[in-house]
Amino acid sequence: MILAWLIIIPLAGGVAAWAAGRKDGHWPRRLSLAALLIDAVLFVVIWRDAATEPALARGTWLAELHLNWIPQFGIGIHLAMDGLSLVLVGLTLFLGMLSILCSWTEIRDRIGFFHANVMAILAGILGVFLSLDLFLFYFFWELMLVPMYFLIAIWGHENRQYASLKFFIFTQAGGLFMLLSILALYFIHHAGTGVYTFDYSLLLGTPLAPMTSLLVMLGFLISFVVKLPMVPFHPWLPDAHTEAPTAGSVILAGLLLKTGAYGIIRFVLPLFPLTAPVIAPAMQAFAVIGILYGALLSFAQTDLKRLVAYTSVSHMGFVLLGIFAMNTTSLQGAVMQMLAHGVSTGALFILVGLVQERMHTRDMERMGGLWSAVPRLSGMALVFGLAALGLPGFGNFVAEFLVLLGTYRMSPATAAIAAAGLVLSAVYALWMVQRAFQGNRRWSGSLPDLSLRETGIMALLVIAIFWLGLYPGRVLDITRPLVSTMQFIPPSANQLDARTGGPAHDRMP
Amino acid sequence: MNTAISISGLKALLPFLIMTAAAMVVMLGIAFRRDHRFTVLLTLAGLALGGGSLVFTPFAPDRYVTTLVLVDAFAGYYLALLFAAAFAVVCLSYSYLEIQGGHREEYYLLVLLAVLGAAVLAAATHFASFFLGIEILSVSLYGLTAYQRHRDQSVEAGVKYLILAAVSSAFILFGMALVYAEVGSMEFARIAIRAGAAGGALLGTGLVLIIVGLGFKLAVVPFHLWTPDVYEGAPAPVTAFIATVSKGAVFALVLRFFGNMDIRVGGALFLIFTIIAVASMFFGNLLALMQQNVKRVLAYSSISHIGYLLVTLLAAGPLRLNASAFYLAAYFVTTLGVFGVVTVLSTRDRDADKLDDYRGLAWRRPWLAGVFTAMLLSLAGIPLTAGFIAKFYLVAAGIGSALWLLVIVLIVNSAIGLFYYLRIIGAVYSMDGPPGPSMPISLSGSAALGGLTLALLWLGIYPGPFLALIGSLMQTAH
C-alpha cells in the first residue's frame, strides 16, 4: 500500500494546493512541498529496508501492490518497486521538491493551479516508474501529458502555444503506437493462454513470432524514443524545454525524458529478449548520432536555455547507447547517466531560470561578465558546466565512463565515436561559461546574487551530483539485481531464421 | 405471425406508451397553462417516468411485440441511454430558452416526440417500425432546428435539414421497396438470412440505398455535408440532441439491422462500411482543423467519432455490441457536456460559437472551464475520462478482429484530432481573455453539467461496474 500512497499523496497535495491558491499565494507552495516531504519520508523508509533486506540480493520486488481495477479487461492496479524504480522515485521526489522551490518567486500568476499541475505531473511520473500493469502504465504515461501541456501553455515564455502543442502531439502520437502494441500483446497472450491480462509478469513470457515481435516492439520503442528523445524524434524537445517555465524545464529534462529510458529498460528489453538485440546495432548508431548532433547543435545556440536543452539530446544519447550496448556495465552506466543527467541538467535549467529572472533575457549575446556581478551564481554555473562535460568526480563522469566501457566491449568503433561526443561537450559547456559568465559585460545595471533559498537549492544539487560521482557504489548496488537478471543474447545474422521453428507461431489474428 | 398484442406485450411497450402519453400531457398542459417552468417539469417527469418504467419492463431476448418491435435488453439499454440524454438536453434547454423570448413551451413537445421516434428506432425489427421511428424523429427535428425563427441561421439550418432528411427518407424507402421485392419480407431477421446467403442484385441495391439514407442520419462521409451548417445554425441544445439522441438511435438501428448479417462474409458490405469509416475519420478530422467556429469544429469532430464507432460494427465477436454500447454512452456524456457548456455560455442574441467566446474562460469561470476541458479531453481520448476507456475499447475490439487498417487509421486520426481540441483548450487557458461580464448559470444548467462531469469521470476512472452491466445486458441480446 505504501506504493499507492507514494502516488496519492502528491495528487492530494496538488488538489489541496489548488484549493488553497484561491486565498493566498504561499500556501500552495507550502502544501506541495509538504506533500513531497511526506513522500520523501516514505521513500527513505523503503530505501532503508532495501539496504537491509535480502530481497535486494534475490532480485525480487522491494514492495508490491495488487488490486483489481477493471476485471472485465484483466486490468489491475499492479504497482511494484525494484532497485531501478527506487532510485528513479528518489530522483523524482528530489527534483520535484527543487522545482517547487525554484518557482517560489518565478511564478506569481495562478499559483494554485500551477502547483496542482506540477503535482499531477509528478504523480504521473511516479505512477510510470511504479506500474507493472501495462494498461496502468499507459494510463500514467498519458496522465503526465495534460498537466505538462498546461504548464508550458500557461506559464511558458513567448512562443508557448506552439511549443506546448508540438510537445503534446509528438508524445501523444508516440503513445498511441504504444497503445497499439500493448493491445497486440494482450490479444496474442490471450490467443496463446486464453487469459486476458495486462499484467507485466504474466505477459513476460509471451511467445512471439519474429516478425510480430519486431512490429510490437517497434510500437513500444517509438513511444519511448520520442520521450527520450532519440534523433530524429527530438524536434519537440528544444521548443518545449525553452518555452517552459523553470520548473517545467527541470521536470521535463530531469524526469520526463527518463520515463522513456525507463520504459525501454523495463518493458522493451524484457518483453522482447530475442528481438531487441536484432535492432541493437541500429539503435546504437542512432544513439551515437544523437550524442554528436545534440552536442553540435548545442554549441550553435545563442539562447542559453536552448543550449542546455540540446545538451539533453546529447546526454540522453549516452543513455540509449548504454541500454542498447546490452551488457551489465553499459546498462548500469545508462541508469547512472539517467540520475546524473537529471541532477546536472536540472541544475543548469534552474540556473538559467535564475539568470532570466534577473536579466529578463536568455540571449547570451546580452550577457557576459556575469561573474563579477553574481559570483555565486556564476560559480555554480561553472560547477554544473563541468558536470555536463563529464569531469571526473561528478556523477556524469562515472555514467559516461561505464557506458563507454560497456560499449567498447561490444564495438570499439562505436565507443570511439561516442567518446568524441565528450570532446564536443567540453566545447559547448566551456563556451557557455565563457560567453555568458566571463568576458566583457554587454549589459548595464546591477543584479542580486543568489538568495539564501537559491543557495540552498544549489547546495542540494551540488551534494547530489558529487554523491553520485564520488560514491556511486550505493546506487550501482541497488540497481544491480535488475540489470544482472536480464538475459542478453548477442545478435547473430541467422537468428531470425533460427527461431522460426520454435514454439511460437504467428498468432496475430 | 400473431398480430394481436397481449397484456404482457403492452407491459413491454410501457416505455413507449409513457412517452406518447407524456407528449400528449405536455400538449394539454400548454393548452391550459402556458408556463415555461411548468412545461419543463412535466417533460422531465415524463422522461423520468419513462426511464423508471424500464425497471418494470419485462425484457427478454424473444419479447417481440407483433413483428414490429423487439423489447430485449439491447433495446432496454438504448432506451435508457436515450431517455437520460433527453433529460440532460431538457435541463440545458431550460436555461437556454429561459433567456430567449417568444413561445418556448412547444419546444418540449417536439423533444418528447423526437425521443419517442428515437426509442422506436432502438427497438425496431421491421421496416414499418424503422420508417415510422425515423420519420417521427426527423419531423420533430425540423421544428427543433428552426425553433429560433428570428435567427436566419436557425431557419436556414432547419430548411437544410428538412430537404436532406427528406431525400434520405426517399432513399431509405426506395431501398426498402427493393429489398422487399426480393426477400418478400420486411422483418430484419428474414432479410438478414437472405443477405447472408447469396443475395441478388435487388437486395444488394436496396441495402446500399438504405445505407445511403442511414448515412445521412449518421452524418458519415460522404453524406455529411449538412452537418456543419445544421450544427452551427440550430440552437445549441438542439445540436446536442441531434448529435446524441438522433445519431445514437440510428446507430442502434444500424447495429440491429446489419448486426444480424454476417458482414465479414458479405464482402461488399464490409468494404462499404470500411470506406465510410475511414473517410469519416479522415475528412472529419482534417476539415475540423480548418474551422474557426466552435460548433463547426464539434460538428466535424462528431463526424469522425461516428467513423470511429463504425469500427465496432465491423468487429466480429461478442466485443462488438459491448464496445459500441460503451462508446455511445461515453460519446453521449461527452457530447452533451461539450454542447452543454456552449449552451450555458450562449446569450440572447447569439450562441457562444466563436473561439473568442472561450478565450480566458478558465480565469473568468474556472469550474465551467474545468468541465469544458474535461469534455474536450474526453473527445480527444485522454485518460481519466470516459472517452479514453471508450477509445481503448474500440481499439481493443478492432485488434481483436484484426482490423489493422481501421485501427491504424483510428490511431492516426486521434493524433490529428488533438490539434483542434488543444486549440480550443489553449484558448480557454489563454491569459489575454476579455474580462467580460459573467452572468450566473442557471441551476438546471449547472446541475446537468455537474452530473455529466461526474458520469464522465466515473466512466473514465472506475468503469468496471458499468462494463459489467453492459456485458450482462448484451449477453442476452442476439
Asked if the C-beta of B400 comes within 8 angstroms of chain A's C-beta atoms, the answer is yes
Asked if the C-beta of B166 comes within 8 angstroms of chain A's C-beta atoms, the answer is no
Cβ contact (<8 Å) for A153 and B426?
A: yes
The 3-state DSSP class for residue A247 equals: helix
Q: Predicted confidence band at A505 (pLDDT cuts at 50, 70, 90)? A: very low
Q: Mean pLDDT across chain A, nearest whole number?
A: 88
Nearest by CB to B464, which of A70, A109, A177? A70
Please give the residue that has the higher pLDDT: either B241 or B441. B241
What digits encode the pLDDT tens for the residues A265-315? 999 999 998 899 999 999 999 999 999 999 999 989 999 999 999 999 999
Cβ contact (<8 Å) for A71 and B464?
A: yes
> CA nearest A236: which of A177, A172, A163, A181?
A163
Asked if the C-beta of B17 comes within 8 angstroms of chain A's C-beta atoms, the answer is no
What digits encode the pLDDT tens for the residues A118-132? 999 999 999 999 999
How close is the nearest chain B Cα to the Cα of A31, in Å?
21
pLDDT of residue B436: 63
* Nearest-angstrom CA–CA distance, B419 and B400: 29
Q: ipTM for the complex?
A: 0.85
By percentage, how much of chain A surpasses pLDDT 70? 93
Q: For the residues A50-75, what does the mean pLDDT come to?
A: 77
Q: In degrees rounded to 5, what are phi and psi of residue A63?
A: -155, 150
How close is the nearest chain A Cα to the Cα of B402, in Å?
5
Q: For the residues B91-112, what does the mean pLDDT come to?
A: 90
The 3-state DSSP class for residue A251 equals: helix
Q: Is residue A101 predicted with pLDDT exceeding 70?
A: yes
Cβ contact (<8 Å) for B401 and A509?
A: yes
Asked if the C-beta of B388 comes within 8 angstroms of chain A's C-beta atoms, the answer is yes
pLDDT of residue A332: 92
Please give the residue that has the higher pLDDT: either B199 or B130. B130
Q: For the residues B313-323, what does the mean pLDDT come to?
A: 84
Minimum CA–CA partner of B378 in chain A: A146
> Residue A351 is placed in which grid cell?
540556473
Q: Predicted confidence band at A53 (pLDDT cuts at 50, 70, 90)? A: low
Interface test with B, best of A15, A109, A139 (most B CBs within 10 A): A139
Structural domain of B318:
7-474
Its pTM stands at: 0.90
Nearest by CB to A180, which of B384, B407, B419? B407
Asked if the C-beta of B419 comes within 8 angstroms of chain A's C-beta atoms, the answer is yes
Cβ contact (<8 Å) for B382 and A146?
A: yes
What digits encode the pLDDT tens for the residues B412-453? 999 899 889 999 998 998 877 777 656 777 888 899 999 999
In 10 A of CB B101, how many CB atoms?
8
Q: Is residue A492 predicted with pLDDT exceeding 50?
A: no
Element (H, E) at A64: strand A63-70
Q: Is residue B180 predicted with pLDDT exceeding 70?
A: yes
Please give the residue that has the higher pLDDT: either B436 or B30. B30
Cβ contact (<8 Å) for A161 and B426?
A: yes
What digits encode the pLDDT tens for the residues A422-451? 999 999 999 999 988 988 888 888 888 999
Q: For the residues B397-411, what does the mean pLDDT come to?
A: 89
Cβ contact (<8 Å) for B395 and A179?
A: yes
Read off the DSSP letter of residue A76. E
Contact A324, A221 (CB under 8 A): no
Q: For the residues A89-117, what does the mean pLDDT come to?
A: 92
Nearest by CB to B399, which of A169, A172, A183? A183
What digits encode the pLDDT tens for the residues A213-238? 999 999 999 999 999 999 899 999 99
Q: What is the 3-state secondary structure (H, E, C) of A417-481?
A: HHHHHHHHHHHHHHHHHHHHHCCCCCCCCCCCCCCHHHHHHHHHHHHHHHHHHHCCHHHHHHHHH
Q: For the residues B110-118, what does the mean pLDDT come to?
A: 97
**Chain A residues touching residue B383 (CB < 8 angstroms):** 138-139, 142-143
Residues 26-45 of chain B with CB under 8 A from chain A are none
Q: How many domains does chain B divide into? A: 1
Query: Is residue B1 in some structural domain?
Result: no
Q: For the residues A4-8, what does the mean pLDDT come to?
A: 94
Cβ contact (<8 Å) for A73 and B471?
A: no
In 10 A of CB A18, how many CB atoms?
23
Q: Predicted confidence band at A507 (pLDDT cuts at 50, 70, 90)? A: very low
Q: For the residues B210-225, what does the mean pLDDT come to?
A: 93
Nearest by CB to A172, which of B418, B430, B467? B418
Cβ contact (<8 Å) for B429 and A153?
A: yes
Minimum CA–CA partner of A173 in chain B: B415
Query: Is residue B2 in some structural domain?
Result: no
Query: Is residue B418 in some structural domain?
Result: yes
Contact A240, A250 (CB under 8 A): no
In 10 A of CB B75, how many CB atoms?
27
By percentage, how much of chain B surpasses pLDDT 90? 66
- Cα torsion angle, A13, A19, A25, A26, sign: negative
Across the strands, what pairs with A131? A79
The 3-state DSSP class for residue B126 equals: strand
The 3-state DSSP class for residue A213 equals: helix
Cβ contact (<8 Å) for B411 and A138?
A: no
How close is the nearest chain A Cα to the Cα of B429, in Å?
7
Number of cross-chain residue pairs from A and B with Cβ atoms under 8 Å apart: 78
